[in-house]
């Protein structure tokens, strides 16, 4: 079925999922307003460059939406392989230079392979379960390759060390496994295993600063001027905003530098201080709509790869938003996950735009197929 062609709008434009694009532009536009305020009412140094980036990556997403899903399915494994190699390279570079390294300098861009791994792991597992015979899905041996596929990048990223990204890769992979139909008891068992593994990991795997952050998260007031300072000041910013906020450009926590990272990881707190609960509900609501749309794209898709990929990608966006918001509201430790589309920075924006582009591609496929959305 073809989309109705209007006389004024050219067909390719009219075919775009405008409602979703509008939602994304709303969130991104609001983010730019927040960055404008965070710079003390100036488009420099953040709002302008972020706007350029936002436009570019939105274009990328629209571009990605024009590619057929079959291409993505075919490209999943090779992409995964390339990214894995890059992760190892990053690891080696870090070892040579000393200290931790997360990116590769390609000259024109600083490529962060772990970021790209977030959508890639979803596509890879979706591809894996799409070609796996359905009967095998519920059998234990099929878990081994899936586990290896998730485990390799997870371990590589964790050793960078990047706790937040590592966890998101694992969550993304596990989500696809869950959606693919891996028996529930395994997740229950896995949760039990986690209960045992987390304290062990806490003591033997995590770095001192990571352990410290978690301890501080559990009791922020124990170190109000150290790591707990971030959480305390963020809660003060959000709490002092009240219902309607202190008003645009009037946030004292962000403008007087009490709120650290007010334009990156804690951009939500900067926003909440000036726009209050109303602004917060707007952001949370908009994201929930976006994520819900993504999951529904999966539900409405006909191919197994498309279904798993769509729901998985939507959940990747969800993890970004949920982890970041829980962090700024003091419900999770500070793990360095930005709020996509709002926080200043390119990596998360790029990842989320790739997710959106893929989702739109699947959505486009659905609309062509009978019974589409």
Q: Is 239 in the site for other proteins (CB under 8 A)?
A: yes
Give min distance, CB of 212 to other proteins, in A: 21
Does 298 bind other proteins (CB under 8 A)? Our answer is: yes
Unique residue bearing structure tokens 């600083």 = 110
> What phi-psi label fits residue 334: left (phi over 0), alpha (psi between -120 and 50 degrees) or beta?
beta
Q: Binding pattern to other proteins, positions 118-157, x when CB under 8 A?
A: ----------------xx-x--------------------
Longest dimension (CA), the chain: 66
Size of the site for other proteins (CB under 8 A): 50
Alpha-carbon distance of 152 to 127, in angstroms, equals: 17
121 vs 295, which CB is nearer to other proteins? 295
Task: Supply the DSSP symbol for 110.
Answer: E
Of 202 and 281, which has the nearer Cβ to other proteins? 281
Contact 325, 268 (CB under 8 A): yes
Residue in 180, 354, 358, 361 binding other proteins, rule: CB under 8 A: 180
Identify the H or E element spanning 368: helix 347-368
- CA–CA dist 164, 169 (Å, integer): 9
DSSP 105: E
In angstroms, rounded to a whole number, what is the distance separating the alpha carbons of residues 355 and 212?
32
Instruction: Rule CB under 8 A: say whether 237 interacts with other proteins.
Output: yes
Question: By CB under 8 A, what part of segment 308-347 binds other proteins?
Answer: 308, 311, 315, 318, 322, 325-326, 329, 331
Q: Shortest Cβ distance from residue 263 to other proteins (Å)? A: 15
Residues of span 252-271 touching other proteins by CB under 8 A: 252-253, 256-258
Query: What is the rounded CA–CA span in Å between residue 240 and residue 273?
Result: 6
Residue 74 phi, psi (nearest 5): -70, -35
277 makes contact with other proteins (CB under 8 A): yes
For other proteins, the binding residue among 86, 149, 272, 349 (CB under 8 A) is 272
Output the CA–CA distances (angstroms, integers) from residue 268 to 134, 237, 333, in the order listed. Answer: 43, 10, 16
Integer angstrom CA distances of residue 247 from 25, 268, 320: 22, 15, 27
User: Would you count residue 299 as binding other proteins (CB under 8 A)?
Assistant: yes
Between CA 129 and CA 131 the distance in angstroms is: 5
Q: Which of 169, 291, 335, 342 binds other proteins (CB under 8 A)?
A: 291
Nearer to other proteins, 4 or 371 (CB): 371
**Cα 100 from Cα 161, distance rounded (Å):** 7
**Among 32-40, 41-49, 150-158, 307-315, the segment contacting other proteins (CB under 8 A):** 307-315
**Pick from 193, 70, 209: nearest CA to 127:** 70
Residue 164: CB minimum distance to other proteins, A: 17
Among 220, 280, 340, 357, which residue interacts with other proteins (rule: CB under 8 A)? 280
Are the CB atoms for 352 and 341 separated by under 8 Å?
Answer: yes
Kindly state whether residue 217 participates in binding other proteins, applying the rule CB under 8 A.
Answer: no
Query: In the complex, which residues of this chain contact other proteins (CB under 8 A)?
Result: 134-135, 137, 175, 178-181, 233, 235-243, 252-253, 256-258, 272-273, 276-277, 280-281, 284-285, 287-288, 291-292, 295-296, 298-299, 304, 307-308, 311, 315, 318, 322, 325-326, 329, 331
């Amino acid at each position: 079925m073809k989309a109705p062609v209007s006389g004024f709008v050219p067909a390719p434009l009219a075919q775009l999922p405008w409602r979703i694009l509008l939602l994304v532009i709303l969130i991104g536009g609001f983010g730019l307003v927040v960055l404008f305020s965070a710079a003390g009412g100036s488009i420099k140094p953040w709002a302008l460059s972020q706007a350029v980036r936002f436009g570019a990556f939105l274009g990328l997403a629209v571009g990605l939406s024009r590619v057929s899903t079959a291409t993505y399915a075919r490209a999943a494994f090779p992409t995964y392989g390339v990214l894995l190699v890059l992760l190892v390279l990053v690891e080696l570079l870090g070892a040579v230079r000393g200290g931790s390294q997360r990116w590769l300098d390609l000259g024109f861009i600083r490529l962060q392979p772990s970021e790209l791994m977030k959508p890639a792991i979803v596509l890879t597992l979706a591809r894996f379960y799409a070609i796996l015979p359905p009967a095998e899905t519920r059998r234990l041996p099929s878990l081994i390759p899936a586990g290896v596929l998730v485990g390799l990048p997870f371990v590589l990223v964790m050793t960078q060390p990047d706790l937040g990204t590592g966890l998101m890769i694992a969550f993304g992979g596990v989500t696809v496994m869950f959606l693919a139909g891996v028996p529930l008891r395994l997740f229950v068992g896995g949760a039990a295993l986690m209960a045992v593994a987390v304290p062990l990991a806490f003591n033997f795997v995590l770095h001192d600063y990571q352990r410290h952050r978690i301890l501080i998260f559990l009791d922020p007031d124990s170190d109000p001027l150290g790591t707990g300072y971030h959480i305390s000041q963020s809660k003060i910013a959000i709490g002092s905003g009240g219902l309607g906020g202190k008003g645009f450009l009037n946030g004292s926590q962000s403008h007087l530098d009490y709120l650290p990272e007010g334009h990156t990881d804690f951009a939500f707190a900067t926003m909440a201080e000036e726009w209050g609960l109303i602004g917060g509900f707007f952001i949370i609501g908009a994201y929930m709509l976006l994520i819900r749309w993504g999951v529904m794209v999966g539900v409405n898709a006909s191919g197994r790869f498309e279904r798993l990929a769509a729901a998985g990608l939507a959940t990747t966006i969800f993890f970004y938003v949920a982890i970041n918001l829980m962090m700024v509201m003091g419900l999770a430790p500070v793990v360095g996950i930005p709020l996509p589309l709002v926080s200043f920075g390119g990596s998360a924006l790029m990842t989320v735009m790739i997710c959106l582009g893929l989702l739109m591609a699947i959505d486009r496929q659905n609309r062509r197929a009978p019974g589409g959305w």
